[in-house]
Amino acid sequence: MANKKKSSRKSKGSSKAVDLITGKEKVEYFLDPSLLLPTETKAPRTPKRGGATNNAESVALQHPHLFSPCTIVKSSVSHMLTKTKDGSLYRIIPGTNLTKLTQEDRMGMEDVLNLPIISEQALLHTLRVRYHRDEIYTNAGPILISINPYKTILKHNTSIYSESNMMQYRKQVSSSKSSTPPPHLFSIADRAYNALQEKSINQSIIISGESGAGKTEATKIIMQYLAKSSSSSPSIPYDSEGGEVPQDQEKKLEEQVLASNPLLESFGNARTLRNDNSSRFGKFIQIKFQQGHIAGATIRNYLLEKTRIVQQIEGERNY
C-alpha cells in the first residue's frame, strides 16, 4: 500500500500563534460552545421552520464562535475564562479538557485527511480558514467538500471557473510535475473522465447538500468541464452507423446538454428560506460518451415537492 503523501503546497497563513507582548508561542484551544455556562449561551441567528424551539445542542452548533481558536485567560473553581482572537470572552465549565490546536489546524490543509488529529473541531476550523482565503474547495480523500461563497471568486483577476483554469486540470494528465492543482470541481470531473476513458467503466459523481449549498451550480460546472474535455479529445467521434460526426454537430449536441438546465429550473425551482432559486426536485443526469466525445444525454427528474403547490411555509414561494 502506498504511503500517504502530504500536500507540498505551503500555507498562506502563519502556522504559529505568537503572543505579541511576550513573543512566546501561545497555546490555543478549540472553543466548544456546548461547554459554556448558561449565562454565556447566545440564541441562534438563523431562521427556524415552523417556530420550533431550540435545544442546547442546536444553540451550540449555531454559535458565532463554534470551534474558534481561543486561549485560557483565567481558571478558577467556578469557571474557566477563555478569549477568542476577536477579543470575545466566554466562561466555560471549570476543569474541562479543551482540544489543542496543532500547526496543521492553523495552516488550512488542502486535504483534511492529512490532519494529525481528524476531529469535528479540526475539520470545521480547516474549512473556516480556507473559506476566509477564498479557497472554497477542500479534499477529504476522494471526496470534495464545497462551501458556497455567495460571490464571484477571482484568481489572478480571472474566474476560478475560466477556460484557462479549466485546461490546467486537463493538462495535469500528461504532466510529469509532482505538484497537483488545488482542490476543485474540475479535479473531480477530470478524474471521472479519465477513468471512463482508461477503464471503459461507467463513472458516477454524487453531488449532495442542503438547500443553497450550490448543488445545481456544481452540476453545471462539471458538465461544462466534461463538454470542454470531450471537445478537446484527439479521437474522432463517430455516430451509431460508423460515420464521422461533423464538428459543428458535435458542438451543438454539447450545447444542448448544457442548455437543458434552465428549462428544468423554470418548472421545478422555487424560493425557500435559504435559497431564492432552489431546485425542489432530484435530478439524475446520464451523459453518454463515444470515443471520448459526448454522444448524448438523459436527464431524469424525481421526488418533485408537490406539497408546495397547495401550501408553502411563511417566507417561501410556490413554483
pLDDT digits (tens, 9 = 90+) for 123-144: 999 999 999 999 999 999 999 9
pLDDT digits (tens, 9 = 90+) for 141-191: 999 999 999 999 999 899 999 998 998 898 665 554 557 899 999 999 999
Q: Do 220 and 261 contact (CB within 8 A), yes or no?
A: yes
Q: Do 29 and 69 contact (CB within 8 A), yes or no?
A: yes
End-to-end CA distance of the chain: give it in Å, rounded: 52
pLDDT digits (tens, 9 = 90+) for 241-260: 555 555 566 567 767 877 87
The conformation of residue 12, written as its DSSP 8-state character, comes to: S
pLDDT digits (tens, 9 = 90+) for 57-96: 777 888 999 999 999 999 998 899 999 999 999 999 998 8
- Judging by beta carbons within 10 Å of its beta carbon (0-12, 13-18, 19+), is residue 247 exposed, middle or buried? exposed
Q: What is the pLDDT of residue 51?
A: 44
> pTM of the entire structure?
0.81
What whole-number distance in Å separates Cα of residue 118 and Cα of residue 281? 34
Residue that has been written with the C-alpha cell 505538484 in this structure: 179
